[in-house]
Amino acid sequence: MKFHLWAVALASALCVQANEWHAYYRLTGSAYQEKFDEMVSQGYRLNSVSGYERNSEANYAVIFEKRSTPAWKSHHGMTSDKYHQRFEDYRKEGYRVVQVNGYTVDGKDRYTAIWEKDSSIPWATRHGMSREWMQKYFDQYLKDGYRMTQVSGYEVGGETRFAAVWEQRNDTVPWVSVGELNSTAYQAAFDERVKEGYRLVDVDGYQAGGEVLYAAIWDKSPSGAWVARHGLDSPTFQAEFDKYRGQGYVLRTFNAYNDGKADRYAAIWVK
Ligand SMILES: *[C@@H]1O[C@H](CO)[C@@H](O)[C@H](O)[C@H]1NC(C)=O
Ligand SMILES: *[C@@H]1O[C@H](CO)[C@@H](O)[C@H](O)[C@H]1NC(C)=O
């Protein structure tokens, strides 16, 4: 049985009984590796991994879910070269990228990614894109009928970079995406899209020139009740997490980023 990241989100969203899932954040590289090994040995699948900087080292925010899955792989803390090499190796083995997250630690770009063994759908991914290249690829893939399913912003040497994943599903689900919005502008775009009947399916915070900006994707795929938050500090995120978990929501998108040296969280929960 083949699963796709968003199809799974959708299927579970429409199920009354959600799978067992767990989320963790503020994990250092070694704590994350330990947690990863423990969860995988218990049959969990990694749904999402987001890197950021805390106390001058890489930290990770992650979601695991106990679900059936095609073969999958994930790595974190990769340099651009290492990621590219793994990308090529796995592509030859029939894996496709379902999530790629760029982040910056001590001024250097690092990558996390999740691959799935799946050849059922044409897909594309790029990383290290400047604003201009992001726009060029965005336009090109849009023209070719691809939908952007995930986007990640980060900063290298004072310049904004993007990583993103596209899928050519040939469905008629309308979708929209924005990037480069500050918190106020993002909230305004969010309110506008929601008024038009869209729901948020991906949100990503990143720093550019000392400012926190957001990139996001909305679509009109069917869904249960959902909620989204951004710009949360860790105690606020924890309070929201506990609240929504108590109400039966499942954390589907979990993005961690920096505001200066502080850690911030953006998330989407779906019932
Ligand atoms: C979508 O259409 C293109 C062009 O006809 C085709 O190459 C591709 O395989 C289709 N994708 C899926 C998921 O069916
Ligand atoms: C946010 O962005 C909007 C639109 O670009 C701009 O008008 C506004 O001044 C910005 N707000 C802050 C606090 O930077």
How far is it, in rounded angstroms, from Cα 191 to Cα 185?
Answer: 10
Q: Is 168 in the pocket of ligand 1 (CB under 6 A)?
A: yes
Mean pLDDT by groups of 10 residues along the chain of 271 residues: 27 51 96 97 97 97 96 98 98 98 96 96 96 94 95 95 96 93 96 96 96 97 94 96 94 97 97 91
Predicted TM-score (pTM) of the model is 0.92
Helical spans, DSSP H, in the chain: 5-14, 29-41, 80-92, 131-143, 183-195, 234-246
Give me the DSSP letters along 27-84.
EEHHHHHHHHHHHHHTT-EEEEEEEEEETTEEEEEEEEE----SSEEEEEEE-HHHHH
Task: Return the sign of the alpha-carbon dihedral for residues 53, 58, 59, 62.
Answer: positive
pLDDT of the residue at 83: 98
Degrees, nearest 5: CA angle 147-237-107: 70
Q: Tell me, what's the pLDDT at 8?
A: 29
Q: Which ligand sits nearest to residue 178's alpha carbon?
A: 2
Give, using CA atoms, the residue closest to atom 3 of ligand 2: 185
Please indicate whether residue 209, judged by its CB atom, sits closer than 6 Å to ligand 2: no
Question: For residue 214, which ligand has an atom nearest its CA?
Answer: 2
Give the number of other CB atoms < 10 A from CB of residue 107.
Answer: 10
- What is the atom index within ligand 2 of the atom nearest the CA of 184? 1
**What's the rounded Cα separation, in Å, for the pair 162 and 35?**
28
| 104 in Cβ contact with 141 (< 8 Å) | no
The Cα–Cα gap between 56 and 188 comes to 33
Q: Give me the pLDDT at residue 18, please.
A: 65
Ligand 1 geometric centre to CA of 216 (Å): 25
Per-residue pLDDT, 19: 86
User: Which residue's C-alpha comes closest to atom 1 of ligand 1?
Assistant: 170
